[in-house]
Amino acid sequence: MGNVLVIAVHPDDETLGCGATLLKHRSENQDIYWLICTAMSELHGFSQEKILARDKVISQVGAQFQFKKVFQLGLAPTRVDATLSHLLIDQISAVFNEVKPHTIYLPFKSDVHSDHRKIFDAAFSCTKSFRYPFIKKILMMETLSETEFAPATREDAFVPNVFNDVSAFFAQKCAILDLYQGEMGAHPFPRSIRNVTALATLRGATAGCDYAESFMLLKEIIS
């Protein structure tokens, strides 16, 4: 197994979508990498205090996961769709060519947030096998507060076909989510530990284990 890359449109997407899976990859001695697409800036109305607090959380989360490297594109939150597609593709392609990931975790293509959809389109454009032959497995993850609010149409439904038993890593995932105090809330807020546990329990029941994370497999190349 080779390198693993998770694409987080916003910090916390990585932990919500595949945090326990990343911890499992790391326990299997795989190098894991984190691409964060958006960042706070004073230009877009964020205070210096809030920016520094977010940077501290990112550093703490990165240390918990022990990422080999963290990349940041620095795009404006909620304004990613204003970025020219070819510029996004160039930036993501550069990360892919540096990391040479075997496995990639992407946001779901129909997530309700336009940032997620734009990043999915750009990242998936960088997965052609004749240009990126090192990529062997591409999965979409479900991110609470985004994936479940996609349009209720068949073509936009998240239908998982890969289930990962993460029972041994689930408690640590929740501990990492607790670092994101500004993003998590109390039930019935979608990003709550109660809801995260409920989803993992549901996916675990499907997979026959205590807790699972689920994905949609887009491509797998087996040599």
Q: Is the pTM of this model over 0.85?
A: yes
* Structural domain for 210, as ranges: 4-220
**Counted domains in the chain:** 1
Instruction: Look up residue 155 and give its two tokens.
Output: 């073509």
pLDDT (tens digit per residue) in 182-214: 899 999 999 999 999 999 999 999 999 999 999
pLDDT (tens digit per residue) in 124-169: 999 999 999 999 999 999 999 999 999 999 999 999 999 999 999 9
What pLDDT score was predicted for residue 20?
A: 98
Q: Is 118 exposed, middle or buried (0-12, 13-18, 19+ CB in 10 A)?
A: buried
| String of DSSP letters for 23-64 | HHHHHTT--EEEEEEE---GGGT--HHHHHHHHHHHHHHHHH
CATH number of 101's domain: 3.40.50.10320
